[in-house]
Amino acid sequence: MPAAATYEELKDAIARTYPGMSKQLQRIARFALEKPHDLALGTVAVVAEATEVQPSAMIRFANALGYRGFSDMQQVFRGHLVQRSASYRERIDQLRRSQLNGQRAPAGVLHQIVGDAIGELGHLEEGIREADLKAAVKLVAAADRIHVLAQRRAFPVAAYLAYALGQLELKTHLLDGAGGMLQDNLGAIGAQDVLLVASFRNYSPEVVEAAEACAARGVAVISITDGPLSPLVALSRVSFQLADDSSKAFRSLVAPLCLAQALVVSTGHHLADKPPPRSARKTKASRTS
């Protein structure tokens, strides 16, 4: 397999080879996708310690992706880091490293959370392709009905989407599974509907199974998830992949909620720019004649 020359190609290569990797190499793969800036700047020993593997596993990981060695692969990550140099995240990280005390005080906690959120939003703006956003907007705007599903930590994303899309007078249904009715509700999803799901590692089995069932029936699935290793990616017509560090005890929802809001507002603009149906124009003309 030829080695990837760009970061985007490398992400795709990791996703393709991930299922056949050993558990050690899969651990490195998740680290590489969740913390690309750490892999770009770390030595073999440092990254191996962070991923709890032997340094030789780092070499095997690079070889599995077609590189002669770890440093050749690392150059791709460094090139990506240079492209987004002087971002808010680096500045905030530098500021945090300069602080020796006070992280556990409320003000320190707030500072850290705000810094992390700024970094997430920087990654969000860099990582979301306009073509994907446009494709998702068209699917949502044209759907007979929009079904929204997320569980556990991601549930607020689904709740917001169901509320906000409903405010656009789109037929929207929040699949909350109340009363054990999730499977029955999934069965009622039509071929011209859209299923909009959100799930992050560790992925909710019910959300993945719902996406599988709908995709198998030809229903368009739009997913908000955390990277190319997510099982939702292959099931989706459009998949938004957000950088989400699964090693954190408390992971933020700032980026997925910001993306959800962008999707709603963009859909609103699309609907406003769309000409009214012919029947509506005829009705308006008859009233003015």
Query: What is the dotted CATH code of the domain comprising 130-273?
Result: 3.40.50.10490
* Cut 0.95: pTM above it: no
Stated as kind and residue range, the H or E segment containing 241 is: strand 238-241
In terms of Cα–Cα distance, which of 15, 5, 13, 27 is closest to 239? 15
pLDDT in tens, 129-164: 899 999 999 999 999 999 999 998 899 999 999 999
Residue ranges, comma separated, of all CATH 3.40.50.10490 domains in the chain are 130-273
pLDDT in tens, 82-134: 765 545 455 555 555 545 445 556 666 777 777 777 777 777 877 788 999 99
What residue spans in the chain does CATH classification 1.10.10.10 cover?
Answer: 7-83
Distance between CA 32 and CA 265 in Å, rounded? Answer: 33
Tokens of 210: 């719902």
By CB atoms closer than 10 A (0-12, 13-18, 19+), residue 175 is buried
Average of pLDDT values for 64-88? 79
Q: Higher pLDDT residue, 274 or 262?
A: 262
Average model confidence (pLDDT) across the chain: 83
Q: What secondary structure, in 3-state letters, does 3-31 show?
A: CCCCHHHHHHHHHHHHHHCCHHHHHHHHH
Q: Exposed/middle/buried for 245, CB within 10 Å: 0-12, 13-18, 19+? A: middle
Q: How many helices (H) and strands (E) does the chain have?
A: 14, 5
Assigned CATH class of 7-83 = mainly alpha
pLDDT tens digits, one per residue of 27-48: 999 998 888 888 888 889 999 9
| DSSP annotation of 232 | T
Q: Which of 256, 279, 24 is nearest to 128 (CA)?
A: 256
| β-pairing verdict for 172-174 and 238-241 | unpaired
Note the pLDDT of residue 88: 46
Per-residue pLDDT at 184: 84
What would the pLDDT profile of 191-200 be if each residue is shown by its tens digit? 999 999 999 8
Q: Which helix (H) or strand (E) covers residue 170, if one does?
A: none
Give the closest residue to 226 by CA, choosing from 216, 209, 207.
207
Residue 194 CA from chain centroid, whole number: 18
Tokens of 99: 């602080």
- Residues near 170 by beta carbon (within 8 Å), at least 6 away in sequence: 140, 141, 143, 146, 267
- Read off the amino acid at residue 96: R
* pLDDT (0 to 100) of residue 90: 55
